[in-house]
Chains A and B, each alone.
Chain A
Amino acid sequence: MRNIIKNKAVVADDWTVLRLGEEDTPDAVAVPEGKVIVPLKVWQQQRAALENRAELGVWIGSSERPEELKDDLSRFKLVAVDFPKFADGRGYSIAYNLRARLGYTGELRAIGDVLRDQLFLMQRVGFDAFAVREDKNIHDALKGLTDFSEVYSNSWDQKSPLFRRVQRGVGAEA
C-alpha cells in the first residue's frame, strides 16, 4: 500500500503498476493477481486472458497513442499515463485527448516522475489521481494543486477560457 493523491486528497492506494523488465515481453510476462495496472502492450497481447479480470487498469507510455485504447476505454475504471521524466510533456496531450476526444470518464492517473510543481498543470488536462514519486513528501506535493486560483486558457478542467467566464477590465485608463 502506498499513498497517492486522488480527488485532491492523500489516500491509501492498493493498485500496483506492472512494468516490463529487460527480459520480459508483453505477450509472456506474468500478470500478478489483484489490482494491477498493466502496460498497454500487455493488455493488447494478453487480452484473452485478462479480459475477464474484474479489477484491471492499463497504462499508456509517453510514446504510445491513446487512440489504441479507443474501443476498450469503457472497460477500464483506471487508466494511467506514464511520465518517464517530468520534462517529457507528451503525457499532457495524451491525457487531454483521452478525456476530450475519446470521452474517457474513469480515473486518470499520472504515474512515473510525478512531482509537485507539475500537478497543477496535470489536473488541468484531465488527471484526477497522482502517484507522486515515492521519495517525495506527498502532503507537500498536494499543495501544488492550488498554486493558482485563476487561469487564462481553457482545457479539460476548465472548459471555458477566462474571457468567456468573467467580466474583465476594459480600456486604457492611465
Chain B
Amino acid sequence: MYRYDQYDHQIVKERVAQYADQVRRRLNNELSEDEFRPLRLQNGLYYQRHAYMLRIAVPYGLLSSKQVRMFAHIAREHDRGYGHFTTRQNIQFNWIKVEETPDILAKLASVEMHAIQTSGNCVRNITSDQFAGVAPDEIVDPRPYCEILRQWSTFHPEFAFLPRKFKIAINGAEEDRAAIMVHDIGLSIAKNEQGEIGFRVFVGGGMGRTPILGSEIRAFLPWQHVLSYVEAILRVYNQYGRRDNMYKARIKILVKAIGIEEFARQVEEEWQDLKDGPSTLTQEELNRVAAYFTAPPYETLPATDAKVEQLKTENKAFAKWIERNVKGHKVPGYASVVLSLKKTGVPPGDVTADQMDFVADLADRYSFGELRATHEQNLVLADVKQSELFALWEEAKKHGLATPNIGFLTDMICCPGGDFCALANAKSIPIASDIAERFDNLDFQHDIGDLELNISGCINSCGHHHIGHIGILGVDKDGSEWYQVSIGGSQGNESSIGKIIGPSFSAHQVTEVIDRILQVYVRERTEDERFIDTARRIGVTPFKEFVYATPIKIEHPAGEDAYA
C-alpha cells in the first residue's frame, strides 16, 4: 500500500500544527464558533448529539495492521472502546473531546493517517473497490489513480469552499463495486481499442433529497488528463453551483438544471486552458505511485485446495461461510475474506478495540498485514491462502466476525442515525437491530438470497437507502419518527434509484413491512430469481398492494420507548 514520503509527512505534520492552533484560538475565543465550524469540519470533527465525533480518512479503504492498532488505541484512550466504519470506507469515533483532537491527530500522523477533508464542503475521501488489486474481473488497479487524486485534492486551494461536499469514486473492474453512479464524479477505468487506459467519466450522481444517477460526460478520458479534467469540472461547479439553498447545492442539481450537454460544454471550455498543462500526469509519476501497489510475495499454489474442499463437505457452517464471505482472487490458491461487521445485536459497522487488535493480528498472520474497509461497512482480508481459510474462520468466529451473511438481508448498510447524529430525523440502528433479530435465521436468509437492505436516518442518505434493493428512510412527521420504505434500488452496473411504496410506517411496523415484502417476493419469484430481479420484473405495485392490504398492528411501546 502507499507509504508517506518526506513530503506527505511534512504536509500532515503542518496540518496538525495548523489545526492545533485553530483549536487553541477557538478555546480562547479568538475564533467564533461560526468561524471555527468549517475549519473543524474540514478536519472531520462534527458536533453530534452527545459529544464530538471524529471521522478519520481511510484513503480508498486501505489499512495496514499498524493503523488498525492505532484505531484500537484511540478507541481505548480517547473514546468508549469502539469505532464505527462508514459508507465512505472511513472510520469514526463518537465520543471525542475537542481538546484531545490535536493529540489524536498527532498520533494518527505517526501511522500516516489524518482526518483531512472527511467533512465540509470540499473534496472528500476518494472511495474505490474493496477488492482492488485482487479481483478476478479487474481491468486496471484503480488504487494508484485514487492515491494521485487524493494528493491532488488535499488542500487544493481553489476547492476548499465549494457550494457543497464533493465525492469521487473510482472503479477499475468489470463490475462496479464502488457505487460510482451515485457520486458527484464517478470514474470507471476502461481500455480503448488501442489498449490505452482511460476513464469513462460520470458526473452529477448522488443520493440525498434528490437521488439521481450520474450522467456520462466523457466516454474515454486518457489517464494523463484525469487531474486537469476533474479540475475543470470542479471549477465550473465552484462558480455556478447554487449557494442559496444547501439542499440544491450539489453538482447534480447544476447538471440537471442546465443539462449534461451544456454542462459538458462549459467543462470543455475550462479544460481547453488546462489540458496538456502542468497537471497532466506523467508516466513517471504513475509508475512511482503504482510501485506502492505491486503484488505481495504470493506463493505458487494450486487453484483449489483439496483440504478445504473436503472440510467444506464435512462442515456445513464452514461451507456456508465460504459461500457468502469468501470471494474469488486473481491469484491461484488465494481468496479474499470478508469479515462481517453485521452480527445480530451489534450496530452495523461497529468494531470494538479488542476486535480491532484482533483483526490487525489476523491481517499480519494471514494477509500480508493489510486490511480494507468496504462501503458496505465490513472489513476485508484481501490475500488469504485458501489452505488457511479454515483456521482463519475458526478464529474469526470466536471474535464475532464470521457471521456468514455477506450480501444477505442482515448485511445491512446503516448510518449511525438518531442515536448519535445531530442531522438525523429518526433512529436507524434500532431498526437495523429489529430487522436483524426478526430475520436472524440463516436458513431463511439463505432462502431469500442476495438482498441489499439499506437504512438512512435522514434524507442525507449516508445509509445509501436510495440504492438498497429495499431502502428504509427515517423521516420526521410532527415531531415523531417514521420510516419510508422503497424498493428496487441498486448499486453496481445496473444502478437504479428505489421507488417509495407508499405512506410511511412507525418503527414498530417496519419489520412486519419487510416480512410482507419478502412474502411477495417468495410468492412471485421464478426459480433462482434474485429479489432485485423480481422487483424489477413485477414493479412496485404488487408489493405495495400486499403491504397495505391489511392494517399492521402497532405493538404497544415497551421499555424506554414507552417514555419517549
Interface membership of B282, Cβ < 8 A? yes
CA distance in complex: A23, B453 (Å): 57
Render A122-163 as a binary contact track against B, CB cut-off 8 A, 1 for contact: 101100000000000100100000011111111100011111
CA distance in complex: A118, B120 (Å): 14
Which residues of A are found within 8 Å of B243, using beta-carbon distances? 88, 90
B269 closest partner in A (C-beta): A101
Chain A interface main SS type: loop
Interface membership of B22, Cβ < 8 A? yes
Chain B CB within 10 Å, residue with most, of A88, A163, A171: A163
CA distance in complex: A41, B427 (Å): 51
A92–B278 touching, CB < 8 Å = no
Residue of B157, B162, B282 touching A155 (CB-CB under 8 A) = B157
Which residues of A are found within 8 Å of B156, using beta-carbon distances? 152-153, 155
B249 vs chain A, min Cβ distance (A): 12
Residue of A89, A115, A124 touching B238 (CB-CB under 8 A) = A89
Which residues of B are found within 8 Å of A159, using beta-carbon distances? 278
CA distance in complex: A86, B153 (Å): 20
A92–B3 touching, CB < 8 Å = no
CA distance in complex: A117, B157 (Å): 12
Interface membership of B291, Cβ < 8 A? yes
CA distance in complex: A116, B156 (Å): 17
A152 closest partner in B (C-beta): B151
B368 closest partner in A (C-beta): A174
Interface membership of B18, Cβ < 8 A? yes
Interface membership of A164, Cβ < 8 A? yes
Q: Interface size for chain A: under 10, 10 to 19, 20 to 34, or 35 or more residues? A: 35 or more
CA distance in complex: A147, B293 (Å): 31
Which residues of A are found within 8 Å of B294, using beta-carbon distances? 172
**Known A-B contacts A87-B38, A153-B279, A168-B5; A121 and B160 likewise in contact (beta carbons under 8 Å):** yes
A125–B157 touching, CB < 8 Å = yes
A172–B288 touching, CB < 8 Å = no
B109 vs chain A, min Cβ distance (A): 14
Which residues of A are found within 8 Å of B153, using beta-carbon distances? 153
CA distance in complex: A94, B2 (Å): 35
Q: Give the segment of B6-14, B193-201, B400-408, B511-519 that binds chain A.
A: B6-14
A148 closest partner in B (C-beta): B14
A153–B7 touching, CB < 8 Å = no
B10–A150 touching, CB < 8 Å = yes
A-B contact pairs, 9 of them (CB 8 A): A88-B161, A89-B158, A120-B157, A124-B157, A125-B157, A150-B7, A151-B155, A151-B157, A172-B1
- B residues apposed to A, CB below 8 Å: 1-7, 10-11, 14-15, 18, 22, 30-31, 35, 38-39, 121, 151-163, 227, 235, 238-239, 243, 273, 278-279, 282, 284-285, 288, 291-294
Task: Give 7 nearest A-B pairs by CB, closest first.
Answer: A169-B5, A89-B161, A124-B157, A121-B157, A163-B285, A152-B151, A92-B158
- Using A93-B235, A118-B160, A171-B292 as known contacts, list a sample of 5 further A-B pairs with CB atoms less than 8 Å apart, ordered by residue number in A: A117-B31, A121-B160, A153-B152, A164-B282, A169-B7
